[in-house]
């Protein structure tokens, strides 16, 4: 997930206790991402939409 966000231009804004804040500098959108080994597909889609990047696994 993090590799996908970096690939699409997103940057880590700051680290929290159990979450990280990621930002898309092109849009200014910020999303909270939990630091877990696995992130449910539904949450991954929500994060991608919130940051205005293609969904993970979606081909362009």
What is the per-residue pLDDT across 6-57, written as a single tens digit (0 to 9) for each?
999 999 999 999 999 999 999 999 999 999 889 999 999 999 999 999 998 7
pTM, full prediction:
0.85
**Residue with tokens 């700051």, as numbered in its chain:** 14
Q: What is the CATH number of the domain that holds 17?
A: 3.30.920
| 5, part of any domain | yes
Q: Residue 57: its pLDDT value, please? A: 77
Give me the number of domains the chain comprises: 1
Domain that holds residue 27: 1-51
Can you read off the two tokens belonging to residue 34? 């939990």
| 6, part of any domain | yes
| 59, part of any domain | no
| 18, part of any domain | yes
Please tell me whether residue 12 adopts helix, strand or coil conformation: strand
Q: Residue 4: its pLDDT value, please? A: 94
| 57, part of any domain | no
Report in angstroms the alpha-carbon separations of 60 from 5, 6, 28, 41.
15, 16, 22, 19
Question: CB–CB of 3/46 below 8 Å?
Answer: no
| 20, part of any domain | yes
C-alpha closest to that of 1 among 50, 46, 44, 51: 44
């Amino acid at each position: 997930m993090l590799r996908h966000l970096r690939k699409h231009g997103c940057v880590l804004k700051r680290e929290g206790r159990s979450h990280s804040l990621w930002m898309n500098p092109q849009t200014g959108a910020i999303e909270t991402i939990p630091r877990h080994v696995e992130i449910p597909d539904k949450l991954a889609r929500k994060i991608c939409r919130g940051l205005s990047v293609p969904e993970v696994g979606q081909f362009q």
